[in-house]
Amino acid sequence: MKYTFQCSQGHDPETMEVEAMNDDEAMEKLLPMAKEHLAAKHSEMASMSDEDVKNMIMGGWKKEEASGETGVM
């Protein structure tokens, strides 16, 4: 499964993308990327707790089946 999280608050849209088997794995990979992004682009949000960042990610991420589960015989 492909997980993408796009942030476009105050800058050109930037998409973080990871491959993961489930939400937990995706979060493990996205969290450090998101925190890095916050530190780089949103210094005012860089002090958010992990929990807050997770909530932000879960509020906006998109999940995409890598291939085949829909409509393929």
Which positions touch Zn ion (CB under 5 A)? 7, 41
Nearer to Zn ion by Cβ, of 1 and 31: the residue is 31
Which residue lies nearer to Zn ion by CB, 22 or 32?
32
Closest CB to Zn ion: residue number: 7
Work out whether the CA dihedral 44, 49, 54, 55 comes out positive or negative: negative
Give the nearest distance from C-beta 26 to Zn ion in angstroms: 18
Supply the DSSP symbol for 45: G
Q: Which two tokens stand for residue 69?
A: 């589960």
Q: How far is the CB of 41 from Zn ion (least distance, A)?
A: 4
Rounded CA gap, 15 and 39, in Å? 15
